[in-house]
């Protein structure tokens, strides 16, 4: 049975969070003289002189309608990176605890661990880019607090076997963090539906990918109410600015538009894969459940530099574990993908 108190840092248990001016009253008001704001407004067409809702209730309410999760089970962060960092700061004692990563995977898990002075134990994915459950079991000890799993995985693009993740959730006494940044493009269903079954589950999602709001920096974490309460206690009081909240709320009214973009992206992805297979320098294209593909080539560095010289930027992943010789291509618009292919036709090794 999972018990959050067995993994929560003692200083976080005893932490008295900052109480903002907007936290200290309930209901509506017409005169705000509590937060030392500029009462005359701001030098912008839209007034931003008032502090934003510290718990972003309007955005969470709309997300609740879309995701089928109560607002109390939703945390909003300044990108998913803030949620990742808060998990480290809440549950991992610096210099003592450890987390498990499964490379190749999203790089910010390790960066955040290093910032927080938390040991990372790496258990590489298998050659099929799936979890090595035996290796993970061997790496776990009494100080292992978090396991990070990116699914669909970045940079490989594939989804992780659901049964393997459920095995970890059932047997691991710490938190299993499933990063679903690319879930909108996947055939696999979200783990959000399993929150009531697994008390140690944290699901990360974002508005940066399918929703097209990368510049706004709005990430989401879904978890039990007690985990969300901890994250809200640790976060800065106004971590999501008012402009991002309002623009996110507007975007969340356009589900049909986003769904159409997802369909278009998947169509373009399939077409790009077919066209890339015709090139002699392409050795393999790995199955993808994301809005990108990982392409194994004969000369990743040469192709990358050639594309850069023509104003096309892709990601060289050839130095990443299990991605030797590979480039990562984000799926662009039909025009962008056509430009990429036409440029590659002129490439000479």
Task: Summarize pLDDT for 262-309 with one digit per residue, the tens.
Answer: 999 999 999 999 999 999 999 999 999 999 999 999 999 999 999 999
Q: Which residues pair with 144 in a beta bridge?
A: 98
Burial class (CB in 10 A: 0-12, 13-18, 19+), 111: middle
CA torsion sign for 13, 16, 19, 25 is positive
Residue 15 lies inside a defined structural domain of this protein: no
Which spans in 15-79 are helix H? Answer: 57-67
Mean pLDDT of 180-185: 98
The verdict on 261 and 303 lying in the same domain is yes
Q: Which of 262, 298, 266, 295 is nearest to 280 (CA)?
A: 298
Structurally, the chain folds into a number of domains equal to 2
Are 84 and 204 in contact by the 8 Å Cβ rule? The answer is yes
pTM attached to this predicted model: 0.95
Please identify, among 214, 229, 253, the residue that sits at the C-terminal boundary of a domain: 253
The verdict on 239 and 282 lying in the same domain is no
Q: Residue 27 — very low, low, confident or very high, per pLDDT cuts 50/70/90?
A: confident
Tell me whether strands 282-285 and 219-222 are parallel, antiparallel or unpaired: unpaired
The verdict on 179 and 290 lying in the same domain is no
Which of the residue ranges 42-46, 213-217, 283-287 would you say has the lowest mean pLDDT?
42-46
In the chain, at which residue ranges do the beta strands (DSSP E only) sit?
74-77, 98-101, 119-122, 144-150, 175-179, 201-206, 219-222, 282-285, 292-297, 315-316, 326-330
Does position 22 have pLDDT exceeding 80, yes or no? no
SS3 145: strand
Residue 148 CB partners (closer than 8 Å, separation 6+): 84, 99, 100, 101, 102, 105, 106, 109, 177, 179
H or E segment at 111?
helix 108-115
The verdict on 240 and 265 lying in the same domain is no
Q: Which of 120, 116, 73, 77 is nearest to 99 (CA)?
A: 120
The verdict on 138 and 215 lying in the same domain is yes
The verdict on 222 and 137 lying in the same domain is yes
> Strand order in 119-122's β-sheet?
74-77, 219-222, 201-206, 175-179, 144-150, 98-101, 119-122
The verdict on 212 and 94 lying in the same domain is yes
Mean pLDDT of 66-84: 97
Please identify, among 253, 286, 301, the residue that sits at the C-terminal boundary of a domain: 253
Q: Residue 201 — very low, low, confident or very high, per pLDDT cuts 50/70/90?
A: very high
Q: Which of 212, 207, 206 is nearest to 261 (CA)?
A: 212
Q: What percent of the chain has pLDDT over 90?
A: 94
pLDDT for position 30: 86
**Mean pLDDT value across the chain:** 96
pLDDT for position 62: 98
SS3 330: strand
The verdict on 113 and 138 lying in the same domain is yes
Please identify, among 221, 253, 285, the residue that sits at the C-terminal boundary of a domain: 253
Which of the residue ranges 6-20, 21-35, 157-171, 234-248 would you say has the lowest mean pLDDT?
21-35
Q: CA-CA distances (angstroms) from residue 346 to 60, 143, 293, 306, 331? A: 49, 54, 21, 10, 20
The verdict on 242 and 286 lying in the same domain is no
The verdict on 295 and 249 lying in the same domain is no
For residue 23, what is the DSSP state? G
Are 248 and 218 in contact by the 8 Å Cβ rule? The answer is yes
The verdict on 176 and 297 lying in the same domain is no
Mean pLDDT of 165-179: 98
Q: 237 is written with which tokens?
A: 């009081």
Cα separation, 282 vs 345, in Å, equals 12
Which residue range(s) make up the domain with 335?
256-344
> Strand order in 315-316's β-sheet?
282-285, 292-297, 326-330, 315-316
The verdict on 181 and 143 lying in the same domain is yes
């Amino acid at each position: 049975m999972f018990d959050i108190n067995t993994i929560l840092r003692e200083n976080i248990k005893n932490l008295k969070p900052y109480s903002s001016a907007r936290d200290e009253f309930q209901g509506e008001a017409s005169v705000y003289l509590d937060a030392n704001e500029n009462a005359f407004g701001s030098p912008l067409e839209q007034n931003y002189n008032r502090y934003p809702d510290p718990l972003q209730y309007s955005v969470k309410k709309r997300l609740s309608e879309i995701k089928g999760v109560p607002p109390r089970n939703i945390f909003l962060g300044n990108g998913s990176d803030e949620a990742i960092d808060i998990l480290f700061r809440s549950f991992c004692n610096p210099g003592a605890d450890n987390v498990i990563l499964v490379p190749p995977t999203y790089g910010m898990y390790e960066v955040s661990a290093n910032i927080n002075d938390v040991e990372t134990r790496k258990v590489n994915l298998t050659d099929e880019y799936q979890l090595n459950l035996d290796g993970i079991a061997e790496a776990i000890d009494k100080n292992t607090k978090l396991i990070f799993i990116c699914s669909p995985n970045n940079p490989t693009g594939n989804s992780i076997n659901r049964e393997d993740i459920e095995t970890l959730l059932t047997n691991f006494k710490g938190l299993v963090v499933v990063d679903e940044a690319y879930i909108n493009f996947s055939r696999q269903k979200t783990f959000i539906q399993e929150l009531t079954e697994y008390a140690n589950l944290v699901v990360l999602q974002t508005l940066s990918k399918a929703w097209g709001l990368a510049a706004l920096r709005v990430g989401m974490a879904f978890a039990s109410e007690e985990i969300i309460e901890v994250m809200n206690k640790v976060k800065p009081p106004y971590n999501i600015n008012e402009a991002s909240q309002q623009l996110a709320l507007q975007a969340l009214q356009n589900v049909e538009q986003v769904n159409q973009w997802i369909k278009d992206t998947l169509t373009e992805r399939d077409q790009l894969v077919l066209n890339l297979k015709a090139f002699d320098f392409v050795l393999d294209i790995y199955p993808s459940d994301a809005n990108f593909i990982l392409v194994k080539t004969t000369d990743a560095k040469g192709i990358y530099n050639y594309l850069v010289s023509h104003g096309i930027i892709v990601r060289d992943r050839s130095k990443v574990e299990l991605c030797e010789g590979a480039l990562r291509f984000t799926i662009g618009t039909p025009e962008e993908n056509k430009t990429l292919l036409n440029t590659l036709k002129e490439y000479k090794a």
